[in-house]
Each structure stands twice: as C-alpha cells, then as structure tokens.
Amino acid sequence: MLRSAIELEVNPECRNPFEVRIGKQLDEATIRDLSIPSQGYAKEEQYDTECVRRILKSFYCNYTGPDASGLIAVAELVEDFLAQVASDIDLKTSTFTSLADMSIAASEGTRRSSDGIYRAIDIYLDRHRYLTRSEREEACRLLDCNKMSPDACEHAAQNEWLPLRLVVQVLFVGQLKLRDTIAKEVSYDDRLKQLGDEEEGGEPARNSSSKEVLTEIEKMGSKALELERECCSMREEIQGDSCSGVKREKISMWKEMKRKFGCISSMHDCNCHVKKKKLHPR
C-alpha cells in the first residue's frame, strides 16, 4: 500500500500512517520491503532513502520489545539495505554517509562489529571508482577499525580502493590487537610460572620471554611507522605516475613505430635489390 501511495504521489499526511505501521513491524521486514523505488523529489537516485529513514525512526520511537532481538534484526536489515543501495551508481556520497550513520545508530547497543559497514563501503568504492581522494575519505569516515573482525582487517589491508590513511590505520589497529593478545598471554604464563615456583618453595624465576615480547612489540610499532612512511611515498609515486604515464606511453609507442618502420624499410630494400638483379643483363 505504501508503494502504491508513493507511485500515486499522495501527500505526506496520507503516507505517514503506512510508514508508522511498517516501522512498528520493521524487525519482521526483509530487504525487499525496504527497496522502495524513488519518486518525485528523489528521482535521481534509485531508492527512496528518506522514506527508509522515516520508517526506521518510527521503529525506534515505538519499539517496546522485551529484549534486544528486535534491535539486532533491524541492525542486520539496515546493513543489508546499505550494501544494496551502495551499488547504485547515482548514489551521492553525502547520502551514503548519511545512511551509514543511520546503520551505525541501528547497531548501537547490539555489540555488532563494523564488518557490515565495511562491506557496504567496499561495494560503494568499487562501484564509484571515479571518486576523488577526499570523497573516498568522506565515504570511509564513519568506519570504526577497532570493531572490525580479523578477516575484515585482512581484506581491508589489501583493498586498493581504500584511502592509504585508512589502510595504515587498519594495520596499526591490527598490530595493537596483536600486542594486547601477546601481552595477556605472557602475563598469564608468568603468573602460572610464579605460582609454580612458590609452591616448590623456591625463588620465582626470571622469565626472559617478557623482555623478548616487549622487544617484538617495539619492533612492530617501528614497522607500523615505517609502513606509514612507505604509504606516503607510495601516494607521491602514484601522483607522479599519473603525470609521467602519458610520456612513457608515448615513448613505448614511438619505439614500436620505429621497429615497424625499420621492418618496412628493410623489406623495401630487399625488393629493390631483387628488381635490380632481374633487370641486370647477363
């Protein structure tokens, strides 16, 4: 009924009751239910994102569930919807970030990871490869690297469409998580060793593994800084390559043309010699 009302371009007062009713049952909806085609003021985009925003607002204003299951279901639904609209070639960066902000708000309190947001960003950047560096950074602005899973971090570290700054941040967060994990394991092992020595009545042995781990942590920190410097140099090289790529292409084309013309001239010389030999009297 809401789709029909939108297609007929009825006034907002008539559409509002349908949006409120859908919002109250949004935890039972599917992504197809939210895929409402644009009409009227939003014809330049494929989906009516403003209508989805109002439906989501209605859900949170009227939600009275006994637990967080409804919130989790809606958070997953909004993430899937964001991934779907991200493939819309006409979707503006400002609209995408607004929807991403809405998806993050839907995930608040559910302890969900940022993998869904990252998946949508990956799709959006892949479908909108013409974006400038500042626009790509704006699209990634809401991504929280601290909430990404190890698999998502590994994929992001190799994603050529992400801004270099974000790639460095993902790698740095991964190093911090690895450092914390190693530190906790070493602390636990040292505690077990100390308890064992106390039970035997001897002096607690000095474990050199702690110092080795701290040394490794310092090395990882220096590697992260080195990687950041390399990313900066890579950015400069990419900018330089964009200017010199045309020259290299012209040089290679010129070499190819010289090679071809050399073959043609040698064939021409051979033909000339053959003709002269035939015309020479015996």
Is the pLDDT assigned to residue 154 strictly greater than 50?
yes
Is the pLDDT assigned to residue 276 strictly greater than 90?
no
Tell me what pLDDT residue 24 has.
Answer: 86
Report domain extents, the chain: 1-145
Tell me what pLDDT residue 35 has.
Answer: 84
Which range, of 43-52, 66-75, 134-143, averages the lowest pLDDT? 43-52
Mean pLDDT rounded to a whole number for the chain: 74
- Over residues 238-254, the mean pLDDT reads 50
Is the pLDDT assigned to residue 277 strictly greater than 60?
no
pLDDT band at 187 (very low <50, low <70, confident <90, very high): low
- Over residues 219-243, the mean pLDDT reads 65
Concatenated DSSP letters for the chain? -HHHHHHTT--HHHHHHHHHHHHHTGGG--HHHH-PBP-GGGTTSSB-HHHHHHHHHHHHHH---SSSHHHHHHHHHHHHHHHHHTT-TT--HHHHHHHHHHHHHHHTTTT--SHHHHHHHHHHHHH-TT--HHHHHHHTTT--GGG--HHHHHHHHT-TTS-HHHHHHHHHHHHHHHHHHHHHHHHHHHHHHHHHHHHHTSPPPPPTHHHHHHHHHHHHHHHHHHHHHHHHHHHHHHHHHHHHHHHHHHHHHHHHHHHHHHHHHHHHHHHHHHHHHHHS--
Q: What is the pLDDT of residues 63-117, one digit of tens each?
A: 887 888 888 888 889 899 999 999 999 888 998 998 888 888 887 777 888 999 9
pLDDT band at 162 (very low <50, low <70, confident <90, very high): very high
- Over residues 239-258, the mean pLDDT reads 49
Tell me what pLDDT residue 217 has.
Answer: 65
Is the pLDDT assigned to residue 23 strictly greater than 70?
yes
Tell me what pLDDT residue 205 has.
Answer: 45
Is the pLDDT assigned to residue 262 strictly greater than 70?
no
Tell me what pLDDT residue 253 has.
Answer: 45
Between 8 and 12, the more confident residue is 12
Is the pLDDT assigned to residue 223 strictly greater than 70?
no
